[in-house]
Amino acid sequence: MKGIKNEQFWNLWRQKNYEEALSCSVVPTVASKEQRVRNLLFGGKKQIQETVAISTISVGEFFYDFIMLDHMAVEGIDFAREEDLSHLFSLSEFAKTVDTTSLTGDMAQLQGYVAERMIGSELQARGHDVEFPATSNQAGYDLLVDGEPFQVKNLINPQGVREHLERYPNIPVYVNEELGKYFGGNPQVYVTSVSHEEVINATKQTLSHAADLTDFEIPYITFIIYTASNVKRVWRNDLTIEQAVINILVDSTAKIAFAGLGKMIGTTLGVALFGPQYGILSAGIGAILFGSQSRYASNFIKKALSRKEEKELKDSVFYLSEPILKKVDEKIEIRHHKLCRLKEVLGKSCANEILFQNLATMQHEDIQYITYKRKELEKILRDIQTGRIYILDGYKEIIKTIPKIGVHPRNYQSELEFTNDRFIKLREKML
């Protein structure tokens, strides 16, 4: 018999070409140690592809948010706060606490320091030497330009500039371009090309992207991946629309919950053991590892929703096995009967005796093989009955064993079709 791959066998099986499928010997694949570990951690090929897709898009989202950070805004935000925000994780956690919809409170403070960095960068581009104070609460000035102190104001209303000039008349001010019209000809006020709106937008966008650094956008990415996967199966008529909706909801919910838990645990352990500089990395690793385990929760939920189909397949498997086991006994009787007839027709001679003994040995080995395969089939049935193996896995093992027993499909054709219909219904709900 010519061997074929398992995929080819199941393609024939799904097409109900049972006789052609069973006439081929299925070559079981023996998983290596590495494959078993990989399957345990990340699941089968389908699960690994989904995890890779979700991880790839999440990493892409992270790099997009990272690239969109304005380095001058980051420097200004870090300088404005007492806590160290130089690490991306710390910056991200802080950004989540800031209400960017309001220009008061934290935003009012932060945008001022961002303006200092942006105006300082403009002055450096003009060839000036710019230095910043050691602390953010330096009184009177915000910049040293060529060694001289300057104040920086990024405002809509000019009142704040006037108050500074009254308090520190000897310290000039750099202002945003919108305030230029209020201080024309004032030698203590220097107008820059930096606009108030530009500073506000840079601060808002940087805080927004910083907050998203540790989000990984898992919920909507997961939903998109599982939706695409199930739509593809519906398009191929492998799945009904109703079942596709259930699969999307169950798989997405489990993946999001496990990934969220993994992110939280990874973050806590990473920061505690290695410091905030590893917070984002450990959060990402935790989300991926825990998210890959969501299949166990998904399978549990799907099993609970498919009790009826599971029972029907289990009953039909015993219904299928009955004529096969019965035929095995008949095949053994036929072998014995053929051997007896052969002994009767062979003449008594030394050569015939040797021939008969050789044939008897071969027949005995064949009977032993068939008997062993029958016991193998009976063991699978017992394991299914006791719940040691799940019915879908048990059914696949039975289908691998049937061709080796040598019973012609004609003897169980109707039972096979009936059982296979139940298998397809349960498989749709579980995969």
Domain limits at 245?
42-62+216-305
Last residue of a domain, one of 289, 305, 321: 305
Residues 272, 334, single domain; the answer is no
- Distance in angstroms (rounded) separating the CA atoms of residues 311 and 316: 9
Neighbour tally for 128: CB within 10 Å: 14
Last residue of a domain, one of 190, 212, 234: 212
DSSP state of 5: -
- Distance in angstroms (rounded) separating the CA atoms of residues 376 and 353: 34
In angstroms, the Cα distances linking 288 to 90, 216, 230, 390, 392 are 21, 10, 21, 27, 28
State the DSSP H helix or E strand holding residue 84, giving kind and residue range, or none if neither. Answer: none
Whether 319 is in a domain gets the answer yes
| The pLDDT of residue 26 | 46
8 Å CB contact between 173 and 152: yes
- Distance in angstroms (rounded) separating the CA atoms of residues 85 and 210: 11
Residues 423, 332, single domain; the answer is yes
What average pLDDT does range 119-124 have in this prediction? 92
- Distance in angstroms (rounded) separating the CA atoms of residues 56 and 393: 31
How many domains is the chain built from? 3
Of 205 and 231, more confident = 205
What average pLDDT does range 105-121 have in this prediction? 89
Residues 285, 380, single domain; the answer is no
- Using 50, 70 and 90 to split pLDDT, how confident is the model at 173? very high
| The pLDDT of residue 357 | 75
In angstroms, the Cα distances linking 301 to 88, 253, 297, 430 are 37, 11, 6, 9
What average pLDDT does range 240-254 have in this prediction? 79
8 Å CB contact between 420 and 343: no
- Distance in angstroms (rounded) separating the CA atoms of residues 24 and 107: 72
Residue 286 Rama label (left phi>0; alpha psi -120 to 50; beta)? alpha
Give the tens place of pLDDT for each residue, 345-363.
Answer: 776 767 677 776 777 788 7
Phi, psi (deg, nearest 5) at residue 227: -65, -45
- Specify the long-range contacts of residues 93-100, CB closer than 8 Å, at least 24 apart: 93/214, 93/279, 94/210, 95/206, 95/207, 95/208, 95/210, 95/211, 96/211, 98/207, 100/203, 100/204, 100/207, 100/208
Neighbour tally for 143: CB within 10 Å: 21
Of 51 and 394, more confident = 394
Q: Is 290 helix (H, G, I), strand (E, B) or coil?
A: helix
- Distance in angstroms (rounded) separating the CA atoms of residues 421 and 423: 5
Task: Give the angle 265-267-269 at the CA atoms, nearest 5°.
Answer: 70
8 Å CB contact between 115 and 152: yes
Last residue of a domain, one of 305, 331, 351: 305
Chain centroid to CA 61 = 14
For the cut 50, the answer to whether the pLDDT of residue 2 exceeds it is: no
Listed residue (123, 39, 17, 116) closest to 293, CA to CA: 39
Give the tens place of pLDDT for each residue, 316-333.
Answer: 888 888 888 888 888 888
Phi, psi (deg, nearest 5) at residue 99: -85, 100
Q: What's this model's pTM, rounded to 2 decimal places?
A: 0.60
Across 19-33, 114-128, 138-152, 258-272, least confident range: 19-33
Listed residue (408, 396, 407, 419) closest to 26, CA to CA: 396
Residues 148, 196, single domain; the answer is yes
Residues 142, 270, single domain; the answer is no
Whether 292 is in a domain gets the answer yes
Q: Dihedral angle at the C-alpha atoms of 192, 132, 276, 97, nearest 10 degrees?
A: -50
Phi, psi (deg, nearest 5) at residue 283: -65, -45
Residues 321, 375, single domain; the answer is yes
Q: Is 1 helix (H, G, I), strand (E, B) or coil?
A: coil
> By percentage, how much of the chain surpasses pLDDT 90?
18
Whether 285 is in a domain gets the answer yes
Whether 265 is in a domain gets the answer yes
Residues 184, 276, single domain; the answer is no
- Strand 173-175 and strand 189-191: the pairing is parallel
Residues 6+ apart with CB under 8 A from 268: none
Over the chain, what is the mean pLDDT?
81
